[in-house]
Amino acid sequence: MFSNGEKREIAKAYASGAEPMARKVSYISPEEFLETHIKQYEFWIKGKKIYIFNCMEYYHLAYYISRNKEFNNELFGIFAICSNSNTRVFEEETVCIHNHNEGLYTFVLNCVSTYKGENYGDGKSYIYGPISGHEKEWLEKEGVETKKNVCHILSLSRESAQYTYGKFAFYENLSRYGRSDKYLSNPRDIVVESL
């Protein structure tokens, strides 16, 4: 990872059975990980704390972080960078997390990778987090279908993921996703691009 112009190397704490390095990664309990390793995965962007995990780290740890005041204090969100073809299982875990903590964001960026010349991973990414009913209305007007879960913001295909994540990270004047710094009450029936 590169943070503030510095390269930070983070060893994988958890690996799936499909990964060649799985035989070399020793299992560590979530409690031990949070006690001894979590700081390596913590980053600050624009004054907001985030954790960056791979898919199995997210699957093993995010639930514990979302429910622990020490770790979710000042937490903006969790980014999970992965490449898998079973996104449904991870999304079920995300729903569990957001049923307990609606105040943080989850960004699962599921890439399409190549292994031994074959594509791996379906590229289905998603965002969950605090979103108002009005913001869901805006997304629907723009043709974005959201799921019934109150925290579901967006599901992404392999083609749209990079653009949407970049737009989320650098949208300065108005956050469509519920964390606006400039508006106490976001107006209704306004086209976002025209602001």
3-state SS track over 115-146:
ECCEEECCCCEEEECCCCHHHHHHHHHCCCCC
The predicted-structure confidence for 123-179, as pLDDT tens digits, reads as follows 788 889 888 777 788 778 777 778 888 888 888 765 555 445 555 554 443 445 444
Averaged pLDDT for residues 20-29: 64
Lowest average pLDDT, out of 10-14, 38-42, 119-123, goes to: 10-14
Q: What is the pTM of this model?
A: 0.74
To which residue do tokens 């990980």 refer?
Answer: 33
* Cα gap 12→16, rounded to integer Å: 11
DSSP label at 182? Answer: S
3-class DSSP state for residue 41?
helix
- Residue ranges per structural domain of the chain: 2-194
The predicted-structure confidence for 101-138, as pLDDT tens digits, reads as follows 888 899 998 887 777 788 777 778 888 988 877 778 87
To which residue do tokens 């997390």 refer?
Answer: 97
CA angle 181, 124, 99 (to 5 degrees): 55
